[in-house]
A = this chain, B = another copy of it.
């Protein structure tokens, strides 16, 4: 069972590539070669398109498609994730580069490289702090709402390209798109629709037709995945031979420098690092969470395992390599990964092959990219992004869990109305708060002694001895800011019901932590109780909890209350002193 195999050697842990390379077969290579070529066919236009979407020169997307996937192949735990420029990261980069405080500093290419470097460093720091588990703290509804919202923003951003309208100048939000609805350029629109039509036709309709005539599945895959290449080639040829740029102002990619990028090691000025930090933080978060989510989809289909912390390392180094090789920030791309998987990729060898093809394309074919019409690229972005808009999912979530549904809808609307960062922040806060509300009522048991023993059990479930002046309470969870008020209210309500209580013992058997807020509330509660002639004690506090409390004044403040080792000790001592009956 693949699921349960677990090769834990250090080398394989750091370089997962070693794991599969040891037993790599000719058969797997054939599959990977095919998938690598197919993915490369998509990677070229996507690299250019996402760079333009981010507001950057096309080569930043191409360069991000060479070194970063090679690095990821060495360090990443997913066998099919296609790392490179990604649509949602691209729109976030566009947002960062057009923010007033960033654009005021000029040189967007430099800013983009600093974003790559900063994201890489943040990911490596997170890996160092073992924060890979953070990915678990963004709930699926928030992620889906966010992805849908960001995708809608991208669609809104790309439609003007498809219609030949001017690129948005008023920022990335839902409101400003209205002004573009006048002045459609018919030739550009024809190009865009031709490309879009080809992409749609090469999807289900063609596959269905080829299956009907009994073609071999591998061949069907090969042919159907050539839609993007064909769309780009046909429209580029049309632009070149009909001179559409000069005669009909069809927007094209423009010059792409030939050859591999020179390595860059100068990332000054430091001021930009400061201004870009909040943007890199959000790009990092989303790049990481989306990459792991995509990686998990394909890993689940083949019962492979994704190691979140190792992914942080892999994506972190990949982003650093993007910065050094002149590329925009990278992440796992949804549509490319799906194409890679569907084309039969068995391992990251497929992406190594794709990266090699990209490198050759950049060296030998970059003059050919000049006349690629932006409208055709817009069609490719639209085809890649549309499956990410899952509005139906909101209805399903809403029906299943109202709180999750609200969070999903709020995230989507937040992204559309207030922007990417604001939307995801809102979503995260809503989920966390709703989660806290669910978990902020810990189990608290009033306990008594099982006669003749030293066992103390819940008075609701067992026949136990209790004392008129003594309240024994067992709190069954960590005591934190989220539940201390519930605990305080519980104690006060018990005291209202039992007005003769003079001593309270809090039993900490299950308490493995007391945070700062809880400690302060307990201190205040103790003062209030002392004013009412009630003494607070604690018992059975574990070592780490006691160590923490001893750093503070709390136990001294309890006096005459005490910290007992066992609950039985408390009962014995209080009985002896005649304090309880």
Contacts and interface: CB of A to CB of B under 8 A. Distances in A.
B140 A517 contact: yes
A134 B434 CA distance: 10
A418 interface: yes
Contacts of A431: 481
B4 A496 contact: yes
Interface of A: 1, 3-4, 6, 100, 133-134, 136-141, 278, 300, 303, 397, 399-401, 403-404, 418, 422, 425, 428-429, 431-433, 435-440, 477-478, 480-482, 484-485, 492, 495-496, 499, 513, 515-517, 519-520, 524, 527-528, 531-532, 548, 551-552
A137 B433 contact: yes
Contacts of A422: 278
Contacts of A425: 425, 429
Given A133-B437, A303-B532, A531-B303, A139 B515 contact: yes
Given A399-B551, A400-B516, A482 B136 contact: yes
Contact of A481 (B1, B139, B499, B532): B139
Given A513-B438, A552-B400, A140 B4 contact: no
A300 B485 CA distance: 14
Given A3-B532, A439-B478, A524-B300, A548 B139 contact: no
Contacts of A551: 399-400
Contacts of A477: 439
Contact of A516 (B397, B436, B524, B528): B397
27 contacts: A4-B495, A4-B496, A100-B100, A133-B485, A137-B433, A137-B436, A139-B480, A139-B481, A139-B515, A140-B516, A140-B517, A140-B520, A141-B517, A278-B418, A278-B422, A303-B532, A397-B516, A400-B516, A400-B551, A401-B548, A404-B516, A428-B429, A429-B429, A429-B432, A435-B480, A435-B481, A439-B477
Interface secondary structure of A, over-half rule: helix
Contacts of A516: 139-141, 397, 400-401, 404
Contacts of A429: 425, 428-429, 432
A528 B418 contact: no
A437 B135 CA distance: 12
